[in-house]
Structure 1
Amino acid sequence: MTRPLSRRALLGATVGGLALASGLSGPAAAAGRPRSAIGPEPYVPLAVGAGGGPAGTDRVHVLKVGPDSAHTVLVLVPGFFGAANDFRQLARDLVASVPGVQVWAVDRREENLADRSGFATADPAAYYLDGHYRSQDPAASAFAARWGLSRTLEDLDTVVRTASRGGRRRVVLGGHSWGATTAMTYAAWDFDGRPGHRELTALVLVDGGVRGAFGGTGDPIHNTPEEVRERLAAIDGGAVFDLTLSGVGLGDRAESTQIWYQLAGWYAHTDPAGRSVLQPRMPDALRPPVPVTNAGLLGALVDAGFGWPNVISVHSGRLAESGDVRGWVDTGITPLSRVATGYAGGPTPAVWEWYWPARLSVDLDVADPYADSDLARSLGLRLFHTQALDTPLYAFQTSYAKGTIVSATREVVADSRVPYAVYETDDGMNHLDPLFAAPAHNTLIHTLAPFLAGLR
């Protein structure tokens, strides 16, 4: 879903904000069209090349939203620790706005490692917080050391070519945050002499990209040869999964924080006004100081007003000012019920990826200069066609990177054959707002829809 949080140093003033929140009570109803108006939303597997993982992992999944008869398919790649359900509500809103478009949201092969069966039970908190679920042991996961950008892009190529139906449909490739970076690397990648951009009608970058796109966050890219050697040595030593999210303070396993967030979404979605099931079990430092509802707890975990970094927060609302158990009121652009619906997910698909390969983090950092460098080649990164890129491009930025998403994208366009580009900004949004904001307040939808409609 997101790029590294403060570049591997997460929270800062997060906890202090919990004591300051106030507001009205009662979660608002979700905006947007109901599922019945959009049609079936199948979540389908696609077989991909062998990756050396456990049985059942040589496949990716795609969440399809919109008519299968569509002549344009927008393939969306989630960002750092993101998964397909990031895009479900955005996809519904785009399909409702642009006739003839279907959206495919991609789940990478590592999603097959997650045990989400507890979300099909009546008490998922007991299943996950009491240790009944199957955790993926890093010591038994040496295969993940090879799940880097090359593996990801080969898998993504299968998705793109399947979506095109032999060239009979236009394919637009996009992504959010590091998913946008992934889309750009696909476009420049050499697939045995075939440039990735040859398969594409256009590119869509949502708050991410290359060429220093994340420079405005203040978080350095760790891609010097010395840093890369150290990171690869750690992976060879068994640190095969990226542990960035453990910095939140909700557990030290690769999947701990993601489980907590999905649990918070599940209870906020199924019983928003009920007293929080999770609050008594939270670490002291992160527990809200007053009793809250299930919706209130989710709000405390995702709303920017509580001090969470821009990269993992939205503008939703605040807790009630009074009451024995504080509820939630929506005062921002992103109704909490939309976040709850997304985060709740189900057994599949989900919003959070549990086991992000550390090698993929290394490769994406090295790909940031968007150049066929010696370092890139040493890692097997085939960025041979950056200057030949010749597809229309749309770039959208929030307040997250303070303008460098667009400025970096302009550099890419200037050094390529891109025929035209559209640049949009909404500084009133945080990094996750474009994924969940109400359609009436989502600048991404208002500007991306005409871009898609105008493609020929």
Structure 2
Amino acid sequence: MTRFVTRRAVLGGMAAGAVAGAGLGGNAWAAKGTSASTAAEPYVAFPVGAGGGPAGSDRVHALQIGDPAAGTVLVLVPGQFGAANDFRLLARDLVAAVPGVQVWAVDRREENLADRAGFATADPLAYYLDGHYHSQDPAASGFMADWGLPQTLSDLRTVVEAASCCGRRKVILGGHSWGATTAAVYAAWDFDGRPGHRDLAGLALIDGGVLGAFNGGGEAPDNSAEKVRQRLDAISGGAVFDMSLAAVGVGTRSESTQIWYQLAGWYAHLDPHGTSVLQPRLPDALRPANTLTNAALLGLLVDQSFGWPNDISVHSGTFSATGDWTDTGITPISRVATAYAGPEPTVWQWYWPARLSVDLDAADVFADTDVTRSLGLRIQHATGIDVPLFAFQTSAYQGTAVTAAQKLASASRVPFTSFQTDTTMNHLDPLFAATAKNTATQSLATFVRRLV
């Protein structure tokens, strides 16, 4: 989904202060929309190489949306802590706009570690918040110390090759946030002498990338050899999970925030106007005094008006006088609920390897250096990239996402580009915004249409 990095240490405090001062006003929220059928949207598993994890973890998945006979496949990679359902709504809009295209949204192998069984029970809240689910013990997860970018790209190539159907279909590779970084690095990667870009017909980077794409948000990575060594030492010492999301303030485990957000989406989708079942369980710092509906509770957790940073929020709306939700922005809360609810796939990856964070930060240089080589990163073909490039940026990084894409294009053999900006969007709006208001999907459709 997005880059939830430890630099945002004030995250919880920002949200708490905003919630405490939130008022109630406006009109009642519109009626819940009807979800599209998912019968023709298979979630397909692909075996991948051994990674040392538990049984069933040596596979990745792709949520496949659109005509399976399409001649072009857009493979999309989610960002940090993101998962395949990030792209379901965007994909539906895209395949409706561009005939001849199918979208595959990728779930990394880490997603196999999440326990989704609670959503098949009568009381998912009790299953998860009362600790009945299976939690991955970091002390028993040493195998994740090696789940870095080389393995991620090897796994991704399995999906790309399957999508290409032995070269009979074109493959455009893209992603959101750190998923965009992953896609760009794939294009520059050396796969046993073959440049990754030779597998592709195009690159699509949504609010992310390399070469300083995130710098405008104050997130320039420290990739000095000493800093990298310190981070690797911490991983060797047992800190195998990236714990950034704990800053949200709803739990201390790697998966705590993801569970809360999915539960919020689940109940908002199931019964949007009913009294929130989660509100009494919120930590004191985040719990408003006024009674909210399930939809409003989800809005509290995702809307930018409550003080959440740009890169974890959307423009949705506000509380009504009755504690329900009123849509006033570009992203209806019902679409967020549809995506967040899942149950499988969902928008949340529970366990993000700390090693993958190290590697993706290091890959920002987009070149073969002493540090990247020490990490086993094979970024050897950046200047040879010769496929069309699309880049879209929101307000999240103050213009650096497109500036970085321009650097990539000027230093390579990219034949043509499409660079688009919509500063009315926050970082997550491109994933869930209403069809008619989603300039990311609209501009991506125009780009993809040129390649079909």
TM range (shorter): over 0.9
For the 8 Å contact 1:28–1:336, the answer to whether it is kept is: no
1:318 alignment counterpart: 318
2:55 alignment counterpart: 55
2:297 alignment counterpart: 297
Please list the CA deviations of residues 232-252 of structure 1 after superposition, one character each: whole Å capped at 9, or x if unmatched. Answer: 001001000100000111111
Distance change (3 Å), C-alpha of 1:35 and 1:227:
same
2:376 counterpart of 1:357:
no
1:340 alignment counterpart: 337
- The separation in 2 between residues aligned to 1:39 and 1:70, in whole angstroms, is 18
Q: 1:168 deviation in Å?
A: 0.3
1:151 alignment counterpart: 151
2:211 counterpart of 1:211:
yes
AA in 1 matched with 2:200:
L
Please list the CA deviations of residues 180-211 of structure 1 after superposition, one character each: whole Å capped at 9, or x if unmatched. Answer: 00000100000000110000000000000000
- The separation in 1 between residues aligned to 2:439 and 2:24, in whole angstroms, is 27
1:376 alignment counterpart: 372
Q: Where in structure 2 are the equivalents of 1:155-166 lying within 5 Å?
A: 155-166=155-166
- The separation in 1 between residues aligned to 2:57 and 2:5, in whole angstroms, is 28
Please list the CA deviations of residues 103-139 of structure 1 after superposition, one character each: whole Å capped at 9, or x if unmatched. Answer: 0000000000000110111210000000000000000
1:390 alignment counterpart: 386
2:325 counterpart of 1:328:
yes
For the 8 Å contact 1:394–1:423, the answer to whether it is kept is: yes
- The separation in 2 between residues aligned to 1:94 and 1:39, in whole angstroms, is 18
Q: 1:339 deviation in Å?
A: 0.1
1:176 alignment counterpart: 176
2:16 alignment counterpart: 15
Q: 1:34 deviation in Å?
A: 5.5
Q: 1:450 aligns with which of 419, 426, 446?
A: 446
Q: Where in structure 2 are the equivalents of 1:398-413 lying within 5 Å?
A: 398-413=394-409
Moved more, 255-264 or 20-29: 20-29
1:40 alignment counterpart: 40
1:115 alignment counterpart: 115
2:419 counterpart of 1:423:
yes
For the 8 Å contact 1:318–1:328, the answer to whether it is kept is: yes
Distance change (3 Å), C-alpha of 1:21 and 1:30:
same
AA in 1 matched with 2:384:
A
For the 8 Å contact 1:28–1:337, the answer to whether it is kept is: no
For the 8 Å contact 1:345–1:351, the answer to whether it is kept is: yes
Distance change (3 Å), C-alpha of 1:259 and 1:188:
same
- The separation in 1 between residues aligned to 2:211 and 2:241, in whole angstroms, is 25
For the 8 Å contact 2:6–2:244, the answer to whether it is kept is: no
AA in 1 matched with 2:144:
A
- The separation in 2 between residues aligned to 1:227 and 1:274, in whole angstroms, is 49
- The separation in 1 between residues aligned to 2:258 and 2:23, in whole angstroms, is 23
- The separation in 2 between residues aligned to 1:333 and 1:21, in whole angstroms, is 21
Q: Where in structure 2 are the equivalents of 1:190-229 lying within 5 Å?
A: 190-229=190-229
Distance change (3 Å), C-alpha of 1:23 and 1:5:
farther
AA in 2 matched with 1:329:
T
1:94 alignment counterpart: 94
Q: Percent identity?
A: 66
Q: 1:25 deviation in Å?
A: 4.5
- The separation in 2 between residues aligned to 1:268 and 1:437, in whole angstroms, is 17
Q: 1:21 deviation in Å?
A: 4.1
Q: 1:226 deviation in Å?
A: 1.0
Q: 1:450 deviation in Å?
A: 1.2
- The separation in 2 between residues aligned to 1:29 and 1:273, in whole angstroms, is 9
Moved more, 379-388 or 212-221: 212-221
1:103 alignment counterpart: 103
Moved more, 181-190 or 213-222: 213-222
SS of the residue 1:105 aligns to: strand
- The separation in 2 between residues aligned to 1:187 and 1:289, in whole angstroms, is 50
For the 8 Å contact 1:27–1:272, the answer to whether it is kept is: no
Q: 1:9 deviation in Å?
A: 2.0
AA in 2 matched with 1:87:
F
- The separation in 2 between residues aligned to 1:2 and 1:246, in whole angstroms, is 14
- The separation in 2 between residues aligned to 1:70 and 1:313, in whole angstroms, is 33
SS of the residue 1:387 aligns to: helix
Distance change (3 Å), C-alpha of 1:6 and 1:400:
farther
AA in 2 matched with 1:23:
G
Please list the CA deviations of residues 268-318 of structure 1 after superposition, one character each: whole Å capped at 9, or x if unmatched. Answer: 000111111011111000112211011110000000000000011000000
Q: 1:4 deviation in Å?
A: 2.6
Please list the CA deviations of residues 218-237 of structure 1 after superposition, one character each: whole Å capped at 9, or x if unmatched. Answer: 12313211111110001001
Q: 1:24 deviation in Å?
A: 2.9
For the 8 Å contact 1:200–1:391, the answer to whether it is kept is: yes
CA RMSD of aligned residues (A): 1.3
SS of the residue 2:274 aligns to: coil
SS of the residue 1:338 aligns to: helix
For the 8 Å contact 2:35–2:338, the answer to whether it is kept is: no
Q: 1:8 deviation in Å?
A: 4.1
Q: 1:406 deviation in Å?
A: 0.4
Please list the CA deviations of residues 45-103 of structure 1 after superposition, one character each: whole Å capped at 9, or x if unmatched. Answer: 00001111000000001100001010010000000100000000000000111001100
Q: TM-score, normalised by structure 2?
A: 0.97
- The separation in 2 between residues aligned to 1:29 and 1:279, in whole angstroms, is 21
Q: TM-score, normalised by structure 1?
A: 0.97
Equivalent pairs, count? 450
For the 8 Å contact 2:181–2:210, the answer to whether it is kept is: yes
For the 8 Å contact 1:21–1:305, the answer to whether it is kept is: no
Unaligned runs of 5+ in 2: none
Q: 1:20 deviation in Å?
A: 2.1
SS of the residue 1:450 aligns to: helix
AA in 2 matched with 1:384:
Q
AA in 2 matched with 1:85:
N
- The separation in 1 between residues aligned to 2:31 and 2:43, in whole angstroms, is 25
